[in-house]
Every structure is written in C-alpha cells, then in structure tokens.
C-alpha cells in the first residue's frame, strides 16, 4: 500500500464510523456551517486545530500558515478573516501558535537564499524580534529566546487583528469577536492563554479609522 492510500482507507473508515455513531451526522452538517470560532494556527503538522481541542467538524473555521501570521497584504488570511467575521459571524478568533515553532526558529537565523518566498513570509517575524530585541537577547539560552519570540509573535498577531477594519467594525456594531492569543506546548499537548482582547479594547490611534481627512 502506498502511503497516501492509507489516508483514503482511513477516510472511508472514519466516515462509516461517524454514520454508525450518528446516522444524520453528514446530512445535518451538509446543510450549513455555524462555527463560533475562527482559528488562526501554524501549519505545523503537530498542531492540528480540531484534534488538540477535541472539536468536531462544523465547530471551527480554520486558517493555518507558517507561524500563524496575520499580514495585512495577505489576501488569504484577510479574506478568511472577512468571511469569518462578516458572514459566519464568529464570536471568537483564536491565534494559536506553539513553542519550538520552526518558522520562528528560521526567523531567528540568517535567511536561506534558496527559500525566496519563505523569506518574505518570515521577514515580519524578524521585525517583531527587532522590536523586542533587548528583552529576547537578555534570555540565557536559544531555547528560551525562540519560545519568547513564539509568545511575542502570537501577541503581535492578536494586535494586528485589532488593527483591521473588519474587527474594528464588528467590535463597534456587534460587540464581537473576542480575540485570543494562545500557545500550545509540543511537549505536553497543553494550551496556555497569553492575551485576550474583548470587543472595545483600546486600539492605538494610528490604527483607528477616521472620515476626517
Ligand atoms: Co510552527
């Protein structure tokens, strides 16, 4: 059996098992999705969103990329954000990074000249490092420096969400969503909370919108 064939066999077994447990499972799900959560996570194969929080299909709208970033010029994450907030009306947005993140480690190293696109993606994390360079460099080990930048990156991404018109409009008119920054431990499988921004949280005025020009 080829490795990919295992996935297809497992899929048939999973679908059959679901129907045994709940005969209407797929019929009900096929009608619509009404997830309460948007999850922005790292693409790392060891941090599968639904599995680590024991969620079922239909519960979480998921976007994953290298090092769980929210970048204003990235149509992918921004369109996911717009759809989740304006159409699905999610109540919570969770940015979930993880310790020992390969994207963060790479951002702390010199740029590999062959990884031209990855370099562009990670340059934003280098910027976060530079903002917090003094704090990070005071840590004793590279392990600690990586994991502190993991945390600072998650916190920065939550703030970036609050800088979007999408989130500011939803906060103003519908008092949602709550923004969360979480970090997952690869060693113990446990999630810790780093930051929570409820609707109406203060946003630095340079990120606010105005009609006065
Ligand atoms: Co990662």
Query: Rounded to whole angstroms, how far apart are CA atoms 82 and 85?
Result: 5
Mean pLDDT, the chain, integer? 97
CA of 152 to the centre of ligand 1 (A): 14
Contact indicator for 4, 65 with CB cutoff of 8 Å: no
CA of 144 to the centre of ligand 1 (A): 16
Neighbours of ion ligand 1 (CB under 5 A): 42, 44, 101, 103
User: Which are the catalytic amino acids?
Assistant: 42, 44, 46, 98, 101
CA of 37 to the centre of ligand 1 (A): 20
Q: How many distinct helices (H) and strands (E) make up the chain?
A: 9, 5
Query: Rounded to whole angstroms, how far apart are CA atoms 166 and 160?
Result: 11
Percent of the chain with pLDDT over 70: 100
Q: How distant is the alpha carbon of residue 116 from its chain centre?
A: 23
Residue 1 has pLDDT above 90, yes or no: no
pLDDT tens track for 142-170: 999 999 999 999 999 999 999 999 999 99
At residue 213 the predicted structure's pLDDT band, cuts being 50, 70 and 90, is confident
pLDDT tens track for 46-82: 999 999 999 999 999 999 999 999 999 999 999 999 9
| Average pLDDT score over residue span 177-193 | 98
CA of 8 to the centre of ligand 1 (A): 26
CA of 102 to the centre of ligand 1 (A): 5
The pTM assigned to this predicted structure is 0.96
| Average pLDDT score over residue span 98-113 | 97
Tell me how crowded residue 74 is: count the other CB atoms within 10 A of its CB. Answer: 15
At residue 113 the predicted structure's pLDDT band, cuts being 50, 70 and 90, is very high
Give me the domains of the chain, ranges plus CATH numbers. Answer: 1-31 (no CATH), 34-199 (3.40.1050.10)
């Amino acid at each position: 059996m080829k490795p990919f064939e295992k996935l297809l066999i497992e899929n048939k077994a999973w679908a059959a098992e679901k129907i045994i447990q709940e005969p209407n499972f797929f019929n009900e799900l096929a009608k619509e999705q009404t997830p309460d959560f948007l999850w922005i996570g790292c693409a790392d194969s060891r941090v599968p969103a639904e599995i680590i929080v024991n969620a079922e299909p239909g519960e979480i709208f998921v976007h994953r990329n290298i090092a769980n970033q929210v970048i204003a010029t990235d149509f992918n994450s921004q369109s996911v954000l717009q759809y989740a907030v304006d159409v699905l009306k999610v109540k919570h947005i969770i940015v979930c990074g993880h310790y020992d993140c390969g994207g963060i480690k790479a951002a702390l190293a010199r740029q590999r000249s062959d990884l031209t696109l990855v370099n562009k993606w990670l340059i934003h994390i280098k910027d976060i490092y530079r903002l917090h360079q003094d704090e990070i460099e005071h840590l004793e080990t590279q392990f600690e420096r990586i994991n502190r930048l993991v945390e600072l990156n998650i916190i920065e991404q939550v703030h970036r969400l609050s800088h979007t018109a999408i989130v500011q409009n939803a906060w103003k008119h519908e008092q949602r969503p709550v923004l969360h920054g979480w970090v997952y431990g690869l060693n113990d499988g446990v999630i810790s909370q780093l930051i929570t921004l409820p609707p109406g949280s203060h946003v630095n005025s340079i990120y606010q919108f105005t009609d006065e020009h």
